Amino acid sequence: MDVYSPDRSVRIAATRRGDIAVEVDGLHRHTDESLARQVRAAARVALASLQPRVRDAEPPVDEQRSGW
């Protein structure tokens, strides 16, 4: 997985083995608060990319039962 924040100043790269790298570019243009927003945004993108796609997800338990 390789994701960026909206302004591409923060990159999060992760492997299936669990290795994570965070890179920050253009640190001089950020305040602590704006950098934190960019990191949170990149983390949300990373977490969303780990979620199963809707078509890959299993149907709810009540839809799996036949004859109901």
Place of tokens 């100043």: 9
Q: What is the mean pLDDT of residues 8-16?
A: 86
Domain membership flag for residue 64: no
Range of the domain at 25: 2-51
Task: Please answer whether residues 22 and 10 qualify as being in contact, where contact means their C-beta atoms are separated by less than 8 angstroms.
Answer: yes
Q: What is the number of structural domains in the chain?
A: 1
Cα-based distances in Å from 62 to 3, 56, 58, 65: 35, 17, 11, 6
Domain membership flag for residue 59: no
Domain membership flag for residue 31: yes
Q: Which residues pair with 3 in a beta bridge?
A: 12
Rounded to an integer, what distance in angstroms lies between the CA atom of residue 29 and that of residue 42? 17
Domain membership flag for residue 65: no
Asked if pLDDT for residue 64 goes beyond 60, the answer is no
> How does pLDDT run across 29-53, given as a tens digit for each residue?
889 999 889 888 888 888 888 777 7
pLDDT value, residue 17: 83
